Amino acid sequence: MRTDVRRLGREFADLAATPLLIVGGFVLLTSVSLIADQTTGIPALNGLRSAAGRVIGADAAATALQAVATGLVTITSITFSVLLLAVQQTASNLSPVVFDQFIRRKSNQAFLGFFVGLAIFSYVVLAAGQESTPPILGAALATVLTVVALLSLLRLVYSTISQMRPTSVIRAIHDRTLTARDREAVLVRRTIRQSRSPHPVRARQTSSVSGYVTHLSLEVLAAALDSAQDAEVCLQVTVGDHIGYGELLATVRDADPARAQRIAEAVAAAIHVTGQRNLADDPTTGIDELGNIAWTSGSTSKQNPEIAREATLALRDLALRWLLDDPVDEHGTDHPRLAVVYRDNDLDRILDVLYSMFVVSHESHQHMLAADVLDTYRSLLDRADGPVADRLLRDVAVAEQLLDQDPPSPVLRLARRSFDRARAERESGQ
């Protein structure tokens, strides 16, 4: 329950906190403006109203506020409708996550909150105005803030265009994937990769719902195992996996079958399943989004090899970061490891996507893309060891028949020679 509350609080902070804070500031400004316009016993305010009245007359104050309020509503609705159409077009060409990026960007939220807050300010000051105390200061503030809003509108349009560039979209997904990996690292550090229990499997827990695994609660898992020192939970799913009704979620090893069954039921409560994926906590969502961009751009459906290359380079950077400088290995933890087996397969998911790019380059005859993918494998092979290196060598060995059928290309030939040298150096070193 506490985990759900924290997650809802974080979602609120990500999506609504910024515009609501700005609107709240305008509500406060509205109160100050009304008090200043309707208070006549303070000489300083009288002088300020007199100075503002030389620019905005008492008779024109209400008209100015009405023009600002109606104009802002019109401009805001038209502008944001056009911008959302641009976002939708980019999302259809690249990835649906573009919508999520646009909504979560703090600058976009600030612009929306400013326009809505200024419209509320203008309407309330206009409605509360009295004939004896015309809203001169309110009209003056609204006029100045309208100028700021129009200048901000230019900035919003430019920033939206910049955000919709394919390179910006890919970079944003890349950065959010790194952040999601940092959050998942907490889960990975507190779990184990292989079973250590001598006991047989006593209980199995299956899913009663279908959807994507978006979160695994360490608190619930720790509470379930707190009174069972010999028990071990083996999770059959990872964050980002899609599960169907009746599929296996976890197994429990323990000496006591009844206790194992109780633990299995508690584990089901620790696995959060929703209908949509969540890039904030799930790095595999970012991996799949980058893979989707690379696939559609590199295949004959789009034939845009430059975007496919950018997405492939982003995947290579993620793989190198997690291979050489994984946040799982950077920091320790103040909490002991739980007897929970969790498969950390993020790097394998990247390799799955990279291999699929061999298939895409073969389908679209994009020899440059094939060369980039092969260079990525070479870069990883130079730094990998153990099972990862074996996986890289197997993938390229299987892909050789695809590469043989690609169009003759000096770039691809050089890439293949470079990988062959890296493979020979590794074999000679062994």
One domain, residues 139 and 24: yes
Profile the chain (430 residues) by mean pLDDT over runs of 10 residues.
56 77 92 78 67 67 82 84 85 79 85 90 81 76 88 88 88 93 90 90 91 91 85 92 93 90 90 87 92 88 84 94 78 74 92 94 90 94 89 93 89 92 82
Which residues does 393 contact at the CB level (< 8 Å), separation at least 6? 381, 423, 426
CB 340, CB 192: distance < 8 Å: yes
One domain, residues 153 and 230: no
Amino acid identity of residue 410, one-letter, is P
One domain, residues 398 and 294: yes
User: In this structure, what are the phi and psi dihedrals at residue 165, rounded to the nearest 5 degrees?
Assistant: -65, 140
One domain, residues 286 and 269: no
One domain, residues 302 and 408: yes
d(CA 294, CA 364): 12
One domain, residues 75 and 55: yes
Q: What is the pLDDT, as a whole number, of residue 327?
A: 74
d(CA 74, CA 72): 5
One domain, residues 263 and 286: no
One domain, residues 142 and 195: no
d(CA 35, CA 38): 5
CB 281, CB 183: distance < 8 Å: yes
Number of domains within the chain: 3
Residue 25 is assigned to a structural domain of this protein = yes
CB 124, CB 116: distance < 8 Å: no
One domain, residues 327 and 419: yes
Residue 262 is assigned to a structural domain of this protein = yes
Model confidence, pTM: 0.79
- Token output for 284: 């595999």
Residue 129 is assigned to a structural domain of this protein = yes
Residue 22 is assigned to a structural domain of this protein = yes
One domain, residues 320 and 348: yes
Nearest alpha-carbon partner for 207 in 257, 271, 127, 255 = 271
**How do 232-235 and 340-341 pair as beta strands?**
parallel
- The C-alpha angle 146, 150, 152, rounded to 5 degrees, equals 110
Amino acid identity of residue 413, one-letter, is R
Q: What is the pLDDT, as a whole number, of residue 380?
A: 93
E strand or H helix at 274: strand 271-274
d(CA 66, CA 126): 7
Q: What is the pLDDT, as a whole number, of residue 7?
A: 58
Q: What is the pLDDT, as a whole number, of residue 79?
A: 84
One domain, residues 121 and 96: yes
Which residues does 132 contact at the CB level (< 8 Å), separation at least 6? none
Its domain, for residue 225, covers: 182-274
Q: What is the pLDDT, as a whole number, of residue 41?
A: 63
User: In this structure, what are the phi and psi dihedrals at residue 397, rounded to the nearest 5 degrees?
Assistant: -60, -40
